Amino acid sequence: MIKSITINELAKIANVSKSTVSKALNDKPDIGAETKKRILDIVQQYDFSPHPFGKGLKNKFTENVGVVFCRDMHPISANPFYSRVLEGVEAEIAFNNRNLMLQFVTEEQTKGIPKMLRERQVDGLILIGSMTREYIQLIQSKDIPIVLVDPKFEIDSCSQVVMDNEHGAFTATQYLINMGHKEIGFISGDMARLSFKQRFTGFLKAMKYHNLPVNEDYISVGGMEKGYEHVLGLLKRKNKPTAIFSSNDINAQYGYKAVHDLGLKVPDDLSIVGFDDIELSHMVSPQLTTIRAYKEELGSIAVRNLLKLVENRDQRPITSVIPVRLIERESVRKIN
């Protein structure tokens, strides 16, 4: 639709053949220095940019990276966590001078092979979030390089980028313990997800490490938006925890709401530590102490690893673990 100068026209202007222009453009050796300069000047002058379809048809690379973004079913979908990951992905793709093709799917309803893959419009694929194992295997069967970001499952022989969930959870729990808390609850989203499982493990390890008993009554897990009921349930017991570790910030925010609605206060009546450090965490009062995940980093590392796979098909799968870090704010009270 959009017209623009072609290599043929440019060749005519420069009074050379199009092969010569191509050589100039692609830094091929088989060309004289002055000719090259003259051609590149004209390229500049006419703002010529080779059409990727012509290129791609010949050399089989599209220079496009596909991103399949799994948003949750629930309206809480617009999960700010993954939005930040996407920003990291985009930045790294742009930095590497490629284009990003995006498709959303939901965990349940996945519509077969993504269109962009079926049409071979991408050189590789980044899969962000909780898609099903079957879906991932379906894509793997197409023999295209892929990298998983924060996947729901451990998938064998597949490159992935994950957070150091266990260590983060350990740190968060230990922080509560160091602040004098002994009765510590745990609330979480869907424990089928790898990240939440690992965070639970980190929690347990910290408790064990400090010789504290884990009270099963203080553990409440379920959907992302269940934090409200979780905390409400915990606070209505006769034995209450003095603190809870919430395996993500959204849950923690719902926890705030429950505490609030009971006429209580954070951290006076209940200390809370979250995980993820989404923007929300410093927009609330009191600001949430949480484990910061470097979300853009997750995305950019994923792209870097994917491009390695694209450029070298013999490259073995790469797993990258992104470190996390405790951000101390106002939602934890010191006891004693």
Rounded CA-CA distance 124/315 in Å is 13
Of the candidates 326, 319, 291, the one whose C-alpha atom is nearest the C-alpha of residue 305 is 319
Say whether residue 280 binds its own copies (CB under 8 A): yes
User: By the 8 A CB rule, do 249 and 274 touch?
Assistant: yes
Contacts of 124 (CB under 8 A, 6+ apart): 65, 66, 144, 145, 146, 147, 306, 307, 309, 310
Give the separation between CA 84 and CA 66, rounded to whole angstroms: 17
Given DNA, its own copies, none, residue 257, with its beta carbon under 5 to 8 Å by kind, binds its own copies
Return the number of other C-beta atoms located less than 10 Å from residue 181's C-beta.
24
Residue choice 118, 133, 208, 237 for contact with its own copies (CB under 8 A): 118
Choose among DNA, its own copies, none what residue 8 binds, the Cβ cut-off being 5 to 8 Å by kind.
DNA
What is the DSSP pairing of strand 289-293 with strand 324-327? antiparallel
260 lines the binding site for its own copies (CB under 8 A): yes
Q: For 210, what's the count of Cα atoms within 13 Å in the CB-facing half-sphere?
A: 21
Among positions 253, 289, 290, 305, the unique one binding its own copies when judged by CB under 8 A:
253
Q: Exposed, middle or buried: residue 108 (CB in 10 Å: 0-12, 13-18, 19+)?
A: exposed
Site membership for its own copies, residue 268 (CB under 8 A): no
* Strand 219-221 to 146-149 pairing: unpaired
Q: Which residue has the tokens 């980028």?
A: 161
Amino acid at position 146, single letter: I
Residues of the shown chain interacting with DNA in the complex, contacts defined by CB under 7 A: 6-8, 15-23, 25-26, 28, 30-36, 48, 50-51, 53-55, 57-59
| Beta-bridge mates of residue 274 | 290
Residue whose pair of structure tokens reads 């979780």 in the numeric block: 230
- 75 touches, from DNA, its own copies, none (C-beta below 5 to 8 Å by class): its own copies
121 contacts its own copies (rule: CB under 8 A): yes
Query: Per CB under 8 A, which region of 84-92, 177-185, 188-196, 321-329 contacts its own copies?
Result: 84-92
Among 38, 40, 87, 221, binds its own copies (CB under 8 A): 87
In the numeric block, the tokens 């966590």 are attached to: 81
Decide: is 192 part of the binding site for its own copies (CB under 8 A): no
Interacting residue with its own copies among 42, 128, 250, 324 (CB under 8 A): 250
| Candidates 21-29, 182-190, 256-264, 321-329; binding stretch for its own copies (CB under 8 A) | 256-264
If binding is defined by CB under 8 A, does position 119 make contact with its own copies? yes
Binder of residue 32, out of DNA, its own copies, none (CB less than 5 to 8 A by kind): DNA
Binding partner of residue 116 among DNA, its own copies, none, CB cut-off 5 to 8 Å per kind: its own copies
Span near its own copies by CB under 8 A; candidates 12-20, 85-93, 152-160, 193-201: 85-93
Q: Which ranges constitute the DSSP H helices of the chain?
A: 7-14, 18-25, 33-46, 52-59, 80-95, 115-118, 133-140, 165-178, 194-209, 227-235, 249-261, 295-311
106 binds its own copies (CB under 8 A): no
Distances (CA, A) of 151 to 131, 166, 264: 7, 15, 36
Interacting partner of 244 out of its own copies, DNA, none (Cβ under 5 to 8 A depending on kind): none
Determine, following the binding rule CB under 8 A, whether residue 263 of this chain makes contact with its own copies.
Answer: no
The number of residues that bind its own copies (CB under 8 A) is 60
Q: Specify the residue, 206 or 270, whose C-beta has the smaller distance to its own copies.
A: 270
Contact footprint for its own copies (CB under 8 A): 1-2, 4, 49, 51-54, 56-57, 60-62, 64, 67, 71, 75-78, 80, 83-84, 87, 90-91, 94, 97, 99-104, 115-121, 123, 142-144, 250, 253-254, 256-257, 260-261, 278-280, 283-285, 310, 313
